[in-house]
Amino acid sequence: MADGSPLGSGPVLRETLPLNVSINNSHFELMCFDVVSSPLFPVIIGLPWLKVHNPLIDWSQGSLSFSSPFCRRNCLRKHSSMFPQAVACTTEEKSKLLSLVPVVYHEFLDIFNERQADILPPHRPYDCPIDLLPGAPIPFGRIYPLAERELTVLQEYIEENLRKGFIRHPTSPAGAGIFFVEKKDHSLRPCIDYRDLNKSTIKNRYPLPLIHELFQRLRSATIFSKLDLKGAYNLIRVREGDEWKTAFRTRYGHYEYLVMPFGLCNAPATFQHFINDIFCDILDVFVVAYLDDILVYSTSLEEHRKHMKEVFSRLRLHNLVVKAEKCEFERDNIEFLGFVISTKGIVMDSKKVSAILDWPTPKDRKAVQRFVGFANFYRKFIRNFSEVIRPITDLTKQKVKFNWSPQAQRAFDKLKENFTSVPILAHPVPSQPFTLEVDASECAVGAVLSQRSVPQGLLHPVAFFSRKLSKTEQNYDVADRELLAIKLALEEWRHLLEGAAHPILVLTDHKNLEYLRSAKRLRPRQARWALFFSRFQLHITYRPGSRNTKADALSRMYSSDASFVTDPAPILQPSSFLLMQPSLLHKIRQHYNSDVADTMLNLQDGFYFFKNRLFVPVEARLDALKSVHDSPLAGHLGLRKTLDLLRRHFWWPKLGSDCARFVRSCEVCAKCKGTTSKPLGLLYPLPVPDRPWVSISMDFITDLPASEGFSAILVVVDRLTKLAHFIPLSGVPSASILAKVFIKEIVRLHGLPEDIISDRGVQFTSKFWRALCKGLQICLSFSSGYHPQTNGQTERTNQTLEQYLRCFSCFLQDNWASLLAMAEFAYNNSIHASTKQTPFFSNLGFHPIMIPGIPQDVSVPAAQDRLTFLASNLTTLHQNLLKAQSNFKFFADKKRNPDPEFEVGDMVWLSTLNLRLTCPSKKLAQRFIGPFEILQRINPVSFKLLLPRTLRIHPVFHAAPLKRFVPSQFPGRGPLLPDPVVISDHDEYEVESIVDSKSRRGEVQYLIKWKGFGPEENSWEPASNVNAPKLVRAFHQRFPDKPVHIHVRRPFLRGGQCQDRTCPAPAARRFSSRRSKMAVRSSMRSSMRSSVRSSVRMRK
């Protein structure tokens, strides 16, 4: 006691559950007490509690008051409960609960009210701690690019959780990325990438329940109920002070969690600790709890209802919410954690062994060999294995004709029965290590979960799994299919593998997966899966396919087409070398013994024929297809012609489908053949502006013959009224000159627009123009790559102007500048089909005088009437444009295919129609290059591609120049060697002159004046990157004292005469500077001028 006297009580008898303790009806706390035999005091609160809460004690009144910071944060509540008051459910929700929950439990309907799960829980002793390893770096991840639909869901998610109080704005130095995973119902689930945080977190080793032990308690039970908690992890707070570590970053801001989010490595252990303490005295008595799954079992119905009410009372006390839709009440058999529990005992779930039970009957020798190879691994666990399987193994002999006999069928059925009975499928023991064997074929994935037995140490299977791949999944490359096999297996056996006591040994025949954990860059699909993998302790190990027979057989058991069964394809095919290519006829004869089993075939001269066509076994079919499609004599013809050639000479089952798949997946055809189908993507017109001159479009007409000192025209069109201005220019202007012209000719007359639509010319994409428009709050909209239809209005206006000038210009074409004013008047005075008005009338409300002498309406309307007329005319104009857009879209869509079904991660070919290739003749150039991965869907018809660094073109393209990539389904075919892609469409800027040079850290740099840009765009570039030798020599002739590159010999001696006429220039190198310039080169005209100056000096 406080005076040092002993307590006077016996030993501690037991510990209570966490109790809700109230002091003065204002201070609330969950506390655990030790129960002792003490006749003196009902409750004793010790000195540690007093130090933490630091109460003010009124000795005369015998009362306590609390004002410490700790109590204000955690203990002082307005209500008489430490939990917020319950939120009532709606009438519709209540009627639904009444139908789902048995009547006997209606007194506990409040715990089924899912609105309660939206309330921020209080701090408890079970708050989730996040303790970092000493010296661990602060976790900080990248922001993932999200599609438009994902951004909408992200905004809703943030707003909803801010409203609930589950997240808040932090000042945290940490920040993880967020992305979305599509669920089975096609809705999106947010996922925070906590991989870096989990690596740095000290692991919580609180054990998850041992499944085999908890099931031993159920053998005498006769009635069961299963409960599923709603939003389980969000019912626990993050430990105070650790919230900043859960921060995540989005384009809409920086946030951190107050509740425990999914994805933390210690979340399962924290939640299991919480649940175990709630039911600590009734666990294994009549309750089994595995994370958020709770099973209540009893020996009688009356007893069961008492048990259920006790469980419901504890859930209510701790403010936990149950999801009624996922609950099952008072059943005599129930599925729980992959097992079916009934009054007869515990059996395996039928889904668990369906991979073996559903194995189809073998149809040929190859299918028999796969099954025998799978079964042979488990021969030690099956009595008289050799005797049972002998009718099947006899069919694998080379000289025996394949005939699936009744004896083979009985052996097949007997083996499947043995596979799915003890001791083949051992009970999982969570305390022992798991081994997961996975494999993927072209059409399916398979997996075997095993554990080693004690004391023999033999590997026993726990469960089998296999699944066919969808059409989309079959398009994955080999690495992604193998990775998908691991993901599906982990999902299937999550209840066994998540939180396992030992690392899970994953055996795969794809060696690259060993480096998954340490990969610096993952594709979007792999990144999503890697976050799921972070919930498990995986040790991925490579094992050759010859030793991975069990999972390999499961993955190939669905393959009815023998073309799927091939040997691993070598990197270089023998057909790549002419002298090594085997004879097709020899190969056909060589493989007859292992495949000919059809009585309809006729044997002639050692070859089998079907109706005078040569039968081709599986091993030679790829060579036969190549001979009629890939060879120079065949010519890579289309499907119909290739099929005709094939049917002239060869036959095998499913020849037509094999030929179709072969031709569709031919990369040579995909690259070199154009498309005759309608262009992809429906028409999506731009929105109609509300007022004149708030949205305009701009473009240049260039390369015109000189006229009055001008050689280019700037065309500016108002998108609402169609009024246009044609502005002559002395050439394609720099960004600074364009800005002056824009303010003088457009802003002066019509004010500032809100957005400008243009192509991607260097003037519109320069830093100066972007900065100017940003300062004036003008939105810049650029057309997608090689799709000028985005700016179709200005393109059409350009055609009209060019047609006018073509009609009135002279033979020398040097008078067009004087015609621009009249061309502008004629254009603006002509009626437009879309607006049903002339641009003059749409802007001013009257028509200009064109022919003098004709009487005009001299009445002058009142100013107010004029304003009213203009306002109503704008409405009419807007409606006319909408109607015109609708009509134009209707007729345009008739000539187009629907929007493409490309998804992020798909591979596509890119058309070279609009690319400036550097090959000698574009007629013989490839029609498509690639394939390239889709990174983002910008809108229904525009996509962003992952282009190589050597391809410096804008990565956003309309769907029209894209074509879906069809991967080869013939492994022996081998991929084509990638062709070098040489394109001149990259952002390659020409050097106009060298302004200055300097030496920095021993390297010479030149200040470059770029052609077509103003002085504000000048930049310093390393001398090794400047491939403008004549301009460099000219600069050093003018400034001989400036720093010079070591490889540039000074070409001036005695009056500028050159002693070394070779003057080797630095080699051109590709580089990426802050302006994304590549191999810098001087223009032809600049080089010619430099050459002329040098030759003049030499003659002098």
State the DSSP string of 384-416. Answer: THHHHHHHHHGGGSTTSPP---HHHHHHHHHHH
pLDDT category of residue 46 using cuts at 50, 70 and 90: confident
Report the DSSP beta bridge partners of residue 437.
Answer: 448, 507
Question: Longest C-alpha distance within the chain, in Å?
Answer: 124
Runs of H (alpha helix) within 710-859: 735-742, 748-750, 762-765, 767-775, 792-808, 816-828, 839-844
Checking if the pLDDT of 76 tops 80, the result is: no
The per-residue pLDDT for 726 is: 92
Which of 181-185, 216-220, 331-335, 879-883 tops mean pLDDT? 331-335
Report the DSSP beta bridge partners of residue 469.
Answer: none
Checking if the pLDDT of 455 tops 80, the result is: no
pLDDT category of residue 728 using cuts at 50, 70 and 90: very high
Q: Are 696 and 719 in contact (CB under 8 A)?
A: yes
Alpha carbons within 13 A on the beta-carbon side of 76: 11
Backbone CA torsion sign across 233, 237, 243, 245? negative
The H or E element containing residue 717 is strand 712-718
The per-residue pLDDT for 934 is: 86
pLDDT category of residue 358 using cuts at 50, 70 and 90: confident
Q: Are 176 and 249 in contact (CB under 8 A)?
A: yes
Mean pLDDT of the chain: 73
Region 786-796 average pLDDT? 61
Report the DSSP beta bridge partners of residue 613.
Answer: 610
The per-residue pLDDT for 684 is: 54
Higher-pLDDT residue of 658, 1028 = 658
Of the candidates 477, 488, 473, 476, the one whose C-alpha atom is nearest the C-alpha of residue 551 is: 488
Higher-pLDDT residue of 1063, 149 = 149
pLDDT category of residue 427 using cuts at 50, 70 and 90: low
261-295 residue pLDDT tens: 888 888 888 888 888 888 888 887 888 888 888 98
SS3 at position 924: helix
Checking if the pLDDT of 988 tops 80, the result is: no
Region 385-411 average pLDDT? 78
Q: Are 840 and 848 in contact (CB under 8 A)?
A: yes
Region 354-374 average pLDDT? 77
The per-residue pLDDT for 1028 is: 78
The per-residue pLDDT for 1084 is: 34
Higher-pLDDT residue of 520, 150 = 150
Region 792-811 average pLDDT? 79
Treating both helix axes as pointing N-terminal to C-terminal, what angle do 1084-1099 and 1029-1038 enclose, rounded to 10 degrees? 50
The per-residue pLDDT for 727 is: 92
Task: Tell me how far apart the alpha carbons of residues 24 and 7 are, in angstroms, rounded to a whole number.
Answer: 26
Of the candidates 241, 319, 322, the one whose C-alpha atom is nearest the C-alpha of residue 79 is: 319
Q: Are 193 and 177 in contact (CB under 8 A)?
A: yes
Task: Tell me how far apart the alpha carbons of residues 654 and 84 are, in angstroms, rounded to a whole number.
Answer: 68
The per-residue pLDDT for 537 is: 82
The per-residue pLDDT for 354 is: 60
Least reliable range by pLDDT among 181-195, 609-623, 686-700, 1005-1019: 1005-1019
Q: Are 534 and 526 in contact (CB under 8 A)?
A: no
Region 366-381 average pLDDT? 69
Region 468-491 average pLDDT? 84
The per-residue pLDDT for 1055 is: 31
915-955 residue pLDDT tens: 766 666 666 777 788 788 888 888 777 788 887 765 667 77
Checking if the pLDDT of 977 tops 60, the result is: no
Least reliable range by pLDDT among 9-13, 927-931, 984-988: 984-988
Q: Are 1027 and 1066 in contact (CB under 8 A)?
A: yes
Checking if the pLDDT of 7 tops 60, the result is: no
The per-residue pLDDT for 863 is: 53
Pairing of strands 956-958, 1003-1010: unpaired
Contacts of 2 (CB under 8 A, 6+ apart): none
Looking at the chain, the whole-number percentage of residues with pLDDT higher than 90 is 1
Residue 834: other Cβ atoms inside 10 A: 18
Query: What domains are there in the chain, each with its CATH number?
Result: 14-74 (no CATH), 148-348 (3.30.70.270), 365-564 (3.30.420.10), 583-664 (1.10.340.70), 695-847 (3.30.420.10), 990-1099 (2.40.50.40)
Checking if the pLDDT of 238 tops 70, the result is: yes
The per-residue pLDDT for 713 is: 92
Q: Can you count the helices (H) and strands (E) in the chain?
A: 32, 42
CA distances from 753 to 698, 719, 776, 1028 (A): 12, 11, 9, 41
Region 6-27 average pLDDT? 67
The per-residue pLDDT for 349 is: 58
